[in-house]
Amino acid sequence: MHDLETSFGYQIRRLQLEVDRGARQALVSFDMTPARVTALLVISARSGCTQTALGEALSINRASAMKMVNLLEAKQLVLREAAADPRAHALVLTPKGNELLDHLVEVLRKVDDVMLASLTADARQQLVANIRQLAACNGRGVN
Amino acid sequence: MHDLETSFGYQIRRLQLEVDRGARQALVSFDMTPARVTALLVISARSGCTQTALGEALSINRASAMKMVNLLEAKQLVLREAAADPRAHALVLTPKGNELLDHLVEVLRKVDDVMLASLTADARQQLVANIRQLAACNGRGVN
DNA sequence: TATTGTTATACTCTATAACTATA
DNA sequence: TATAGTTATAGAGTATAACAATA
């Protein structure tokens, strides 16, 4: 038998499936997904970034990032502005995109609250801190 | 601006992307994926379970579970045995499946070790415990 | 009637490769 | 020559809907 209880990879995979399910459910009425919200967050944090940079932050390639931008542009949440390099686009949020992002961040924070309800305030804070440190140490994020 | 540092959903999404990338990389030479290993784990823990039960444990539907079993069967890792209910199949690991699973669990544990290297032993233990509790409270797993 | 497995089909997300226009 | 964006195509994973056999 395998001790799945102490397996980090297995447990975090289970948890992430649930986190994803909850977030997806909360976003479906907005025709949005966790990945789309993350894209808005990246563009908000790095206003004027290129599509290639967006793709790197989302861990997807240029072609996939372009599809994402096409979708968000069609929803009038993101604009492709002229960049210093005429080959590139400078991605910015529209006022509508900013407004929606503000709202969705609130929505997702409430989903988090439900998810974390079984933890004490202390445990919760420490958990987020640990997760943040691991993500920062091991991957590349918005910052 | 949005305080992503304290956003549980955002941070765990980032972390899970990295965990998934690391695991996927470690498994690619075996032509396996995290989801396939999880399927083996489920069948190992619930030997004789049906395809529908496997799908529920993996949070996918019957049709998708069937594709997974087809694949694992083609790799001679899983067998469909006759069940008490003649409509159903009883899923069991082959000796080859058991052997591979044992090995892959070891491989993935080493990936975890690298991932968690920046945490103290205490923090690490507490993190896994917290994650396990959240997954157990919010979702359904193998148990 | 409800359920198990199955099949066919379609959708989403992602990747690869090749093209264009600039640098 | 290298890079940003684009396009076309393909693959993996999942979902839905309908069907057969059995409960």
Inter-chain residue contact B138 with A10, CB threshold 8 Å: no
Q: What are phi and psi of B126, to 5 degrees?
A: -65, -40
Q: What would the mean pLDDT of B54-75 be, rounded to a whole number?
A: 97
Contact of A32 with A23, CB cutoff 8 Å: no
Inter-chain residue contact B11 with A137, CB threshold 8 Å: no
Chain B hits for A139, Cβ within 8 Å: 14-15, 17-18, 21
**Separation CA B11–CA A133 (nearest Å):** 9
- Give residue B13's pLDDT: 86
Q: How far is CA B64 from the centre of its chain?
A: 15
Give the rounded percent of residues in chain B with a pLDDT score beyond 90. Answer: 80
B35 touches strand D (CB under 7 A): yes
Inter-chain residue contact A112 with B11, CB threshold 8 Å: no
- Closest Cα in chain B to A35: B13
Q: Sorting pLDDT into bands at 50, 70 and 90, what band is B130?
A: very high
CB within 8 A of B18, min separation 6: which ones?
A: A134, A135, A138, A139, B115
Pairing of the two strands B89-93 and B78-82: antiparallel
Contact of A51 with A69, CB cutoff 8 Å: yes
**Separation CA A19–CA B122 (nearest Å):** 25
Q: How far is CA A111 from the centre of its chain?
A: 14
**Separation CA B59–CA A19 (nearest Å):** 13
Q: Sorting pLDDT into bands at 50, 70 and 90, what band is B141?
A: low
Residues B5-55: tens digit of each pLDDT: 888 988 998 898 889 989 999 999 999 999 999 999 999 999 999 999 999
What is the residue-wise DSSP string for A48-80? TB-HHHHHHHHT--HHHHHHHHHHHHHTTSEEE
Q: What would the mean pLDDT of A15-26 be, rounded to a whole number?
A: 90
- Closest Cα in chain A to B122: A130
- Give residue A35's pLDDT: 96
Inter-chain residue contact A138 with B15, CB threshold 8 Å: yes
Q: Which protein residue's Cα is closest to nucleotide C22 at C1'?
A: A87
Q: Model-level pTM?
A: 0.92
Better-predicted residue by pLDDT, A100 or B136: A100
**Separation CA B50–CA B127 (nearest Å):** 33
User: Where would I find the beta strands (DSSP E) of chain A?
Assistant: 78-82, 89-93
For residue A100, which amino acid is it?
A: L
Better-predicted residue by pLDDT, A93 or B20: A93
**Separation CA A103–CA A125 (nearest Å):** 23
Please, is B117 exposed, middle or buried when counting C-beta atoms within 10 Å of its C-beta (0-12, 13-18, 19+)?
A: exposed
Nucleotides of D under 7 A from a protein CB: 3-8, 12-18, 21-23
A64 touches strand C (CB under 7 A): yes
**Separation CA B46–CA B52 (nearest Å):** 12
pLDDT greater than 70 at residue B143: no
Residues B95-122: tens digit of each pLDDT: 999 999 999 999 999 999 999 999 999 9
The verdict on A134 touching B (C-beta cutoff 8 Å) is: yes
Identify the CA nearest to B53 among candidates B35, B72, B71, B69: B69
pLDDT greater than 50 at residue A143: no
The verdict on A138 touching B (C-beta cutoff 8 Å) is: yes
